[in-house]
Amino acid sequence: MSNHPILTIIFYGISSILDAFDGYAARKFNQGTKFGAVLDMVTDRCATSSLIVYLAVIYPTFTVIWQLLISLDLASHYIHMYAMLSVGSTSHKNVDQSQSKLLSLYYTNKKVLFVVCALNELFYIAIYLYYYNFIWVGLIMGVLSAPIWLFKQIANVIQLKSASLILARMDVEEHNKKLIVVEEFKKD
């Protein structure tokens, strides 16, 4: 990444395009699986985290911010994925409006999902390019993608909260069931 910024962007772009294509192909050919959904989410997180880690190297003043962004991204997606699978969903993208209108829009509208994901990645790429003297390109891309990047961070917070509540409710229900069994056992 430090020696070949153009190649880095080309390979990062190819990776992103293939990521969008593999999900489309899995749905089109009815080959979506839980493993595929988890693998897709994990590889997305790895790619974004790798780029953000490198941003921490070239912009060390903002290291704490980069660390918080990685933590939010990983935690919100992992907890969301775990919550969705725990309630029996076949995909983390099966979000209804009762969970969150914003998350439902984000995950169920493929155009919204694509644009938000693409511009979120573009924001990080812009910051990377800016450092490597692609100042105007980086600045323009960064300014244009910043509002969607901010939307994505807000969605991550909502996703984290919503998924945490799902898991907490499941824990309460499980605890209450155990209490009922204990009470019935005491009666006998």
Taking residues 129-140, what's their average pLDDT? 96
Instruction: Provide the pLDDT confidence category of residue 129 given band limits of 50, 70 and 90.
Output: very high
| pLDDT the model gives residue 161 | 96
Q: Are 79 and 160 in contact (CB under 8 A)?
A: yes
Annotated catalytic residue, options 19, 22, 40, 44? 44
The CA-based dihedral angle spanning residues 157, 162, 167, 168, taken in that order and rounded to the nearest 10 degrees = 90
pLDDT tens, residue by residue, 95-125: 888 888 999 999 999 899 999 999 999 999 9
Instruction: Provide the pLDDT confidence category of residue 167 given band limits of 50, 70 and 90.
Output: very high
Which range marks the domain in which residue 15 is found? 5-187
- Count of domains in the chain? 1
Region of 178 on the Ramachandran plot (φ > 0 left; ψ -120 to 50 alpha; else beta): alpha
Higher pLDDT, 96 or 178: 178
| pLDDT the model gives residue 116 | 96
By the 10 Å C-beta count (0-12 exposed, 13-18 middle, 19+ buried), 154 is classed as: exposed
Higher pLDDT, 89 or 13: 13
Q: Which residues contact 13 (CB under 8 A, 6 or more apart)?
A: none
Whether residue 40 lies in the annotated active site: no
Instruction: Provide the pLDDT confidence category of residue 87 given band limits of 50, 70 and 90.
Output: very high
pLDDT tens, residue by residue, 21-62: 888 898 899 988 878 888 888 999 999 999 999 999 999 999
Q: How far apart are the first and last CA of the chain?
A: 68
Taking residues 131-159, what's their average pLDDT? 97
Q: Which residues contact 66 (CB under 8 A, 6 or more apart)?
A: 52, 53, 55, 56, 59
| pLDDT the model gives residue 188 | 67
| pLDDT the model gives residue 33 | 82
